[in-house]
């Protein structure tokens, strides 16, 4: 049985492409990043923290985990700045203005712990936005969609209307590079 350490409905949908049978146990720990960490290192660290938290919570004191833990974390980065989830509607507007008409990178880090095996990897996708008017930004924010998304947009929803092009894995932008995850799980002998 697999355990997904995420409450993201998108990650649930994507993991179901690999296996229909898994449990969802969201990580609850506070996320902490050291200063000046790169976006790639940030998602690797956060995904590891989540997977290890769930492992310790479910199997305290065990060196090996009998189930497969999968944890992921996604960030949006532009000009070396990591954009997390917006704290307010104005913060979301600031992020969208920053992304308007420009390219940015979406990084997802994934950690898999199974038995005594542990692997972490990161995927990067470059996304380019159309130039956005203030009316488009306000209209998108009014939908409520940006408020729980890294970088203040969801490519799988109305945020798709902001995107001019992508270079890389679309599913990575949704929060789980499912093709690469499947290959990693196969190489670990899990599926």
Alpha helices in the chain (DSSP H): 9-15, 39-58, 89-99, 134-142, 170-174, 178-187
The C-alpha atoms of residue 86 and residue 181 are separated, in whole angstroms, by 28
At a CB cut-off of 8 Å and minimum separation 6, what does 38 contact?
none
Active-site annotation, residues: 73
* Structure tokens that stand for 173 in this block: 């932008």
Q: With contact defined as beta carbons under 8 Å apart, do 33 and 46 qualify? A: yes
């Amino acid at each position: 049985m697999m355990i997904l350490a995420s409450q993201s409905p998108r990650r649930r949908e994507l993991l179901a492409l690999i296996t229909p049978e898994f449990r969802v146990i969201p990580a609850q720990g506070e996320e902490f990043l050291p200063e000046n960490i790169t976006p790639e290192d940030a998602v690797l660290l956060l995904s590891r923290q989540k997977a290890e938290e769930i492992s310790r919570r479910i199997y305290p004191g065990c060196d090996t985990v009998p189930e497969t833990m999968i944890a992921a974390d996604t960030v949006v980065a532009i000009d070396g700045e990591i954009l997390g989830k917006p704290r307010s509607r104005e913060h979301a507007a600031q992020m969208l203005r920053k992304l308007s008409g420009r390219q940015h990178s979406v990084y997802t880090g994934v950690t898999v712990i199974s038995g005594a095996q542990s692997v972490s990897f990161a995927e990067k996708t470059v996304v380019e936005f159309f130039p956005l008017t203030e009316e488009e930004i306000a209209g998108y924010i009014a939908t409520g969609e940006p408020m729980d998304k890294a970088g203040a947009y969801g490519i799988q929803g109305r945020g798709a209307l902001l995107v001019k092009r992508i270079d890389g894995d679309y599913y990575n932008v949704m929060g789980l590079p499912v093709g690469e995850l499947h290959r990693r799980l196969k190489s670990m002998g899990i599926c």
